[in-house]
Structures are given as C-alpha cells and as structure tokens.
Chain A
C-alpha cells in the first residue's frame, strides 16, 4: 500500500518538475530577448515631406575630403603644387563648418590618367561639352580609391591637361564656362587647370593656389548647399543639418519600432536598448532647443541622437537569431520533450484512479 503512495508521489513530482517548473523555464529562456524600449516615443514625431527634396551628399558626422591631382603627362611637365599647402588653406573654411561636421583631408597624385572623353577641337583649344561631363566621373572614380575609408568621401579633383591640348568647358548654350569647373551633388567636384604657355616652355608649372583653393571652397559650399560664408549662412546650415539629423533619427526609430512589431525574431540587447533610449532623449532635447532658437545646443543633441540611432539600427546583434526562426523553435523542441511527456501524462490517469480509490476508502472508513 505504501508503495502505491510512493509511486503516486513520484508521478506527481515528475509532473511538477516537468510541467510546472520546466515549461515556464523553457519558454523564458527561448524567447527572443528584447530590452525595454520606449516604443511610444519611437513612433511619434513630425516628418518633413521628402518627395521634393533634392539629393545631396549623404548625411554623416564626419567626411573625408580627397584632393586628387590628375596629371596625364608627367614626362613633359613638372607641376609644383603641394597637397599640404591646399590643406592648410582649406582649414579656415573647414573650421567654420567644424561644429557641424569633422573633416579629414587627404591628397593624392594620379599620373598617366586621362579623362576618358574626347573633347572637340575649336580653333586653338579643345572644348568639353556639358553633356560629356557626366561620363568623366565613373571612369575616374575607379582610380580614386575613395571607397577605402569608413566615412563618406567628398572628392575634389584638379586635372592638368597636356600643354598641347588646353581644355575648356562649354555649357549648353555654347558659352565657355569661366570657372572651368563643375560638380556632382553627391560626389564632389572637378576643376580643370590649363598650364600657360610660358610654363610649358620652361617645363615647370606652378598653378595659382588661390584659384584652386577658392574653387574648392566654392564647390564645397555648393555641396553643402550654403549660399555664402557669412554668420547667417553658417547658422542656416546648422539649423538645416540639425533638422536633417533629427528627421533621420525619428525615421530610423520609427522604422525600427515597425520592424519589431512585424518580425518576431529580432533581438534587442541591452546595449542597443540603451542607445535607443539615449537617441530618443537627445532627440527630444534637440527639438526643444531648436524651438527656442538655441542652435548650438540643438545641433549638439541632434548629433548625439543621430549617431546613436544609426548605431542602434545597424547593430549586427539584431540578427542574432537569424538561424533560429520562431516557427522552427517548436520543430526543434517537440521531438525532445514529447516522448518524455507521454509517460508522465499517462501516469496522471493512475493518479486519478488512486485519488478516487483513496477517497472511497476514506469515505468507507468514515
């Protein structure tokens, strides 16, 4: 009789361990971990209408400026210009923008490289038409190595045509473009400097540094969509960049919130959760500062929010459960646990029978 009792206790203990303790533990440990997130905050926000926005350089907190000197015929002409010189003279302009973004200036020389398009001969010089210009950039880019750094690159290229073929740019209306330079809004700018006759004879050419630096500064101004260099223009740029960063942050956070609601297997670790909270906080603070007209603080908080939201969104740990989709979880665990559960549940009928007979016995005794 006692043995029967022990048997019943043993079945019950199996049941308790497997179902009452084991099942919740299994559920808890195989769920997708998500740190606490301010989901409501992530959804709110005012978004600007992006349909009419003209495209520009990618938004980033740091840029590389790559100055390239392209010299197709080094044997017949020596060009005396130094990248350091250009860098030093660009620094005043870059310092003006330093509160918005950081810049790292690099320079390189490309020898024996041509532009890859065929100019047309007009009288004593050669002309590049406006419609030929877009086809210069791609072949040149393959040689520029601008894609080696982790930051977006702004390319500023100076091309020195050969002495025998002075090159000028002509626009659609067949007028010569005085500046002899052009830019591509997402890539950078190109400036063509023709060596003058006396330098060609002397075989040494010293280009006008002021002209080169001024052209670069103007090209950078256009790339950043600034209409001038005054205090007001800089303030305008700061406001624009702060708003762009805020906009991007809000969109990223909203996208992330939507993703989380649609896909079950994305993991949000604690670090990512923290980054998101910081991003949300700073975005709110930036908004208040900008509303009150405090541009510098607004920009500062917007930068923090932007960098944190980007890091959180593209964190590789989000795909940690890539090979463990939710629907296959059951397919993995059922073959393990079902065979164990079967005898346990079958034994429960035994318990029921014992319980019934026990009650009957007790009634009889009473």
Chain B
C-alpha cells in the first residue's frame, strides 16, 4: 500500500553528502611536543561538538600527555594558558595510540587496506557520500611530515612519510573516489612547510590548507608556565578561536575559515589549495566538513503486518545433562569388625 503523500515527506539531502568523517592525526612524541597533542585534541573536541559521532572519527595520537608523569595536572590536556577547557575530557576515544601511529597504518587506513579482523573503530568506512576532514599535525619539512620520531636528536629515516607516499595515497583515494570512497575532502596540515604536503595532490574534490608555505616554519603560540611547555600552535589556536564560535546551526562558510590566520598573527603564511575543489569555498558551509547533520524522512503510512504472538520461546540452548550419580557403599568400618 503506497503512501500517497510519500513524495512530499521525503527531504532529499540538499548538500550532496550524507555523512561526515574525520581523520585527526598527531604524529609527534615526547613531552616537549605537548602542543601537537593539544592541537589535535582541540580539533577533535570541536568536531565532536559540531556533531560528528565518535564512530566516524579516527583519532591517532602518538604519545600520552594526559597521563605523562611530567604532567602537573594529570588526566588533563589544556590548549590555553588560562586552562579554561580540558580538551582531554572524559569521553575521548583514541583509535590509534602510541606506537600504533605509523606510516604504514596511516597509509593503510586512508586506502582501506587494513588486515582482515581490524576492529571497525579503526577503519575508515567512507562511501560515496562522505565528506572527510583530514587534520595532520606534528613536525614536518619540505616534502614530508614526520611520524613517530624515534629518537630525540636524531631523525630516523623510517618515520618519514614521504610526500610521494602521501601523493600516492591521494591517487589511491582518487581511484577510490571512482570506486566511490569519498565525496569531498578537506585537508588541514599544521606542521612546518606544510604547503609542500599538498603540492602533489591531483585527485578531484580536495580542498587543502596548510599553516605555512614551503621554506617557512609554523610557530607555536604561547607557553604555559604552570605546565612548562608550549601548549598550542598558532594556526590551530586561531582556527579554534573561529570554531568555538560556530554551532551546528551556524552559516559560516569555508571561505571565512580559510582566511582565519592572517600573516600578522600567524607569522607564517597560510597556504590554500583550491584548484581541485569543484565548489567555491565561499559558498560552502563550514558544517559540511566539521559538523554532521543527518537527512531525515518522516514516515507516512504504516501498513499493518500480520504477526503472531506465540507461546514464550522454548529455550534454544541445551542444558547440560547432569552427571550420573551412583551409590557407593561406605568404607568398611574397622571398629566394628570382629577379629
């Protein structure tokens, strides 16, 4: 029985995407890289607040700052010296932690070629309607960003995620786009010489922003004297400032977000790559990438089904048969024996 006003009740998704995913990666370890963890947790918090559920966020953090023995405020991570917000919170879900943050896992995650048996929370299960936000933070250089610096004063070669790798990952994702793995992607990179990371993209529908151009370093914002390290980077600080004023019903645009850190405050120049992006960022609402609203249809008519309410189910499970007991006569009582 078809509902006559079904057509009226259906709201086709107007945006063209149906779900949102976020991949947030922090690649550096050790206590003095506290700010990178604070960066990624701040973005995580914003993205969650704007509506993306945990099941669609992949959070990769390379080291534990909240429970680090050097943390004077254990179980907290702050992104501001006045310590208003504990970005660690009590509902953070880290999917890849510590030594699991490696180049291989990152590439396998993005290309979807994880070994069978990987838990669903560690997989990126995007489809053709997904908008993906990718945020990378850490140390970087011309053509690479460093994942898991193994030793402090010696840069290990194995950790580098060479730009060609990432570009090839992007090729794989492009082909995945033909096989329908994402709708649009927004790439945010907050490392030194960030622009070199997105130079070699050639997949369609990618918008990329980096906190500094090739040859420039991204700088950190301020020190918290109580904790003793720099606690946030400049670009992320101002990006967060912008995002904190956005709520799920807001109509701020991506164009505004791309201008969020002018050279006067950021010192490094923010680089943007928009030639691969089909739409004009000034007309794209920020909730397209940072938030998540589901399309809904109201149910019109319900056809009544024939049901049968049966007797309570006989239990399906077989109970164990009890062990068979038999009578065993008592031992001979020697006291009563007649000699």
* A contact residues vs B (CB 8 Å cutoff): 50, 54-55, 58, 84-85, 88-89, 92-93, 130, 133-135, 137-138, 141-142, 146-150, 169, 171, 177-179, 181-187, 189, 209-211, 213-215, 217-219, 222, 227-229, 248, 251-252, 254-256, 258-259, 262-263, 313-316, 318-319, 322-323, 325
Please tell me if the beta carbons of B179 and A313 are within 8 angstroms of each other in the complex: yes
Say which residue of B111, B116, B299, B303 sits within 8 Å of A181 (CB atoms). Answer: B299
Choose, from B76-84, B218-226, B289-297, B317-325, the stretch at the interface.
Answer: B289-297
In the complex the two chains form, is A315's CB within 8 Å of B113's CB?
Answer: yes
B304 contacts A214, CB within 8 Å?
A: yes
Q: Min CB distance, A332 to chain B, in Å? A: 12
Contact partner, B175, options A189, A259, A322, Cβ 8 Å: A259
Interface pick from B31-39, B164-172, B231-239, B262-270: B164-172
Q: How far is the CA of A268 from the CA of B212 in the complex (A)?
A: 39
Contact with A along B157-184 (1 / 0, CB 8 A): 0100000110010011001101110000
| Contact across chains for B178 and A187 when beta carbons are under 8 A apart | no
Closest 6 CB pairs of A and B: A147-B55, A255-B175, A255-B179, A89-B307, A181-B299, A55-B18
Would A255 and B53 count as touching, CB distance under 8 A?
no
With a CB–CB cut-off of 8 A, which chain A residues contact B2?
Answer: 227-228
Q: Whole-angstrom distance between the alpha carbons of A254 and B178 in the complex?
A: 9
Contacts A89-B308, A134-B293, A259-B175 hold; do A322 and B107 have CB atoms under 8 A apart? Answer: yes
Number of interface residues of B (CB under 8 A): 60
Q: Name A315's closest neighbour in chain B (CB-CB).
A: B113
Complex: chain B residue closest to A150, CB-CB? B120
B303:A258 contact, CB within 8 angstroms: no
B interface vs A, CB < 8 Å? 1-2, 9, 12-13, 18-19, 51-55, 103-104, 107-108, 111-116, 119-121, 125, 127-129, 158, 164-165, 168, 171-172, 175-176, 178-180, 248, 292-305, 307-310, 313
Which residues of the other chain, A, contact B172 by a CB distance below 8 angstroms? 259, 263
Alpha-carbon distance A252/B297, docked complex (angstroms): 31
Please list 13 pairs of residues, one from A and one from B, whose beta carbons are closer than 8 Å in the complex, sorted by A's number.
A50-B128, A133-B296, A138-B51, A141-B55, A149-B120, A169-B298, A171-B9, A213-B307, A214-B307, A254-B178, A255-B175, A258-B175, A259-B171
Cβ of A232 to closest chain B Cβ, rounded Å: 12
Q: A93-B305, A209-B307, A322-B104 are in contact. Are A138 and B292 (CB under 8 A)?
A: yes
Complex Cα distance, B244 from A148, in Å, reads 31
Not counting A138-B52, A214-B304, A316-B116, a sample of 6 additional A-B residue pairs whose C-beta atoms are within 8 angstroms of each other reads A141-B55, A181-B298, A181-B302, A182-B296, A248-B179, A323-B104
CB distance from B22 to the nearest CB of A (A): 13
Name, among B248, B298, B299, the residue most crowded by chain A CB atoms within 10 Å (CB to CB): B299
Which residues of chain B are near A323, meaning CB under 8 Å?
A: 104, 158
Shortest Cβ distance from B173 into chain A, in angstroms? 10
